[in-house]
Amino acid sequence: MEEDRSWMYNGRRKRNQVSADWILKTTDFLDRAFSRDTSGDGVMCPCNYCNNTRPQTRDTMRKHLFKHGFRPEYTVWVYHGESDSDPTRDDVLRQRTFDEDGDAEVHRMDDMVDDVRDAHISVEEEEPEPIARAFYEMLTASNQPLHAHTEVSQLDAITRLLAVKSQFSISIAGFDALLNVFGALLPQGHKLPLNLYEAKKFLSALNMPYEKIDVCPKHCMLFRKENSEKTHCDKCGESRYMEVQNSYGEKKQLKFPMKVLRYLPFIPRLQRLYMSEPQAKQMTWHKYGHRYHPNKIVHPADAEAWKQFDPDFSEFASDARNVRIAIATDGFNPFGMGAASYTCWPVFVIPLNLPQVFASRNTTCSSV
């Protein structure tokens, strides 16, 4: 049965005005939190000011809690003993959804949620960078039950519904209508979003940026940086935008590009690989990973080209965390063989540090 922790907020009306029950249970909380502090470096402070981002001593944390109170909705103490390593956590707040065929869309959504849950708080004094902070807030939210009478977390509920929307191609209006029906059926005070916009906003920490770049229809140049304002290709003279002809035979450009490159920046994706402690360790596998077949090439690091690269670039090779990548490209036609031979040319960027079983999951792709 879930422990009632409403005392964290009901027992403190304002600064230094707290109930005896609040003092007693806050002391118990401090005892529990600092019983795990074997290093003496302090414990993440859950006050409304530190927001679980700064380690503090017991005395300082006690003062902060009296002054600022607990951060909102911190009823599952993920930073103070109720971490994702707890044996009951998967049973209580993690209920995977699989359809009868083991739908791949649901599996991918579950993998995405797992990646977020793998994120670990830094024990350093400075504030986390904005991307990391968003992940940590998402981690906390993932442990909030959808309502008081369920074992399904808010994050699980939203990701499951979005997976179903994608699987069955539900329209935005249809998805919003479903959320309204579900919301009316749930108990008062539930945390299900009102519409698709609110659902995507909740998952915004999972989003990865991408950039759309206009391209010459004949692939001569990109309209970016110093060429971002040009309307025609410097080499072939082709129009950047679609053109229409008026009744006088004059051509006019519309604001619809003829061809677009979708570029997924590589650096944010590399940063995400290092935001999960288990995955960050895997990023050094190429150097420290165990080979069960030492006489066979089981990883590109076992090949002669890799071994020759290390002495040629010894400074880069000295740190196993430096990322080595492979780039591959080929064209394909997503609309069937009846159309043009090639309509898409994806460029795949593959991190080679990882064991090969993980590398395919973390491939970055840009396409024209």
CA distances, 227 to each of 135, 218, 234, 238, 353 (Å): 36, 16, 9, 14, 36
- pTM metric for this prediction: 0.46
Please identify, among 190, 206, 222, the residue that sits at the C-terminal boundary of a domain: 206
Q: Note whether 308 and 355 are same-domain residues.
A: yes
Task: Please report where in the chains the tokens 């035979």 appear, as a residue.
Answer: 249
Q: Note whether 22 and 95 are same-domain residues.
A: no
Judge contact between 221 and 227, C-beta under 8 A.
Answer: yes
Any domain includes 73: no
Q: What's the gap between Cα 309 and its chain centre?
A: 33
How many percent of the chain have pLDDT more than 90? 14
Q: What is the pLDDT of residues 18-35, one digit of tens each?
A: 888 888 888 888 888 888
Q: Note whether 55 and 111 are same-domain residues.
A: no
Amino acid in position 154:
Q
Q: What percent of the residues of the chain are helix, what percent strand, and what percent coil, each to the nearest 5?
A: 40, 15, 45
Q: Note whether 103 and 175 are same-domain residues.
A: yes
Q: Note whether 152 and 196 are same-domain residues.
A: yes
Number of folded domains that form the chain: 4
Q: Note whether 277 and 254 are same-domain residues.
A: no
- Backbone φ and ψ for 257, nearest 5 degrees, come out as -65, 150
**Cα 174 from Cα 196, distance rounded (Å):** 10
Q: Note whether 197 and 271 are same-domain residues.
A: no
> How many residues are there in the chain?
368
- Per-residue confidence (pLDDT) for residue 84, from 0 to 100: 43
Q: Note whether 297 and 360 are same-domain residues.
A: yes
Residue numbers of the domain that contains 117: 89-206
Q: Note whether 339 and 324 are same-domain residues.
A: yes
Q: Note whether 130 and 150 are same-domain residues.
A: yes
**312 pLDDT above the threshold of 90:** yes
Q: What is the pLDDT of residues 117-141, one digit of tens each?
A: 444 433 344 455 666 666 666 666 6
